[in-house]
Amino acid sequence: MGIPHRYYYKDTDEIPSDYRTTIESKRKFDVFNSAILIEPHKHFSSFKIHKK
């Protein structure tokens, strides 16, 4: 399934120059089109998101 994915950067990450910031907290983030495989009877923490 395709989903939008928002990734929040840590201060220690190498942050690209085209990042976005949140209005409230000024956190740096990027948005990616992603793919995820959701399987029955699996916990959501085991799902892997593949950023494009």
Predicted pLDDT of residue 47: 76
Is the pTM for the entire model greater than 0.85?
Answer: no
Predicted pLDDT of residue 52: 65
pLDDT tens-digit profile of 1-52?
A: 777 888 899 989 999 999 999 999 999 999 988 887 888 888 878 777 776 6
Closest by CA to 39, choosing from 50, 31, 49, 47, is 47
pLDDT tens-digit profile of 8-18?
A: 999 899 999 99
Predicted pLDDT of residue 26: 92
Q: Using an 8 Å Cβ cutoff, are 27 and 21 in contact?
A: yes
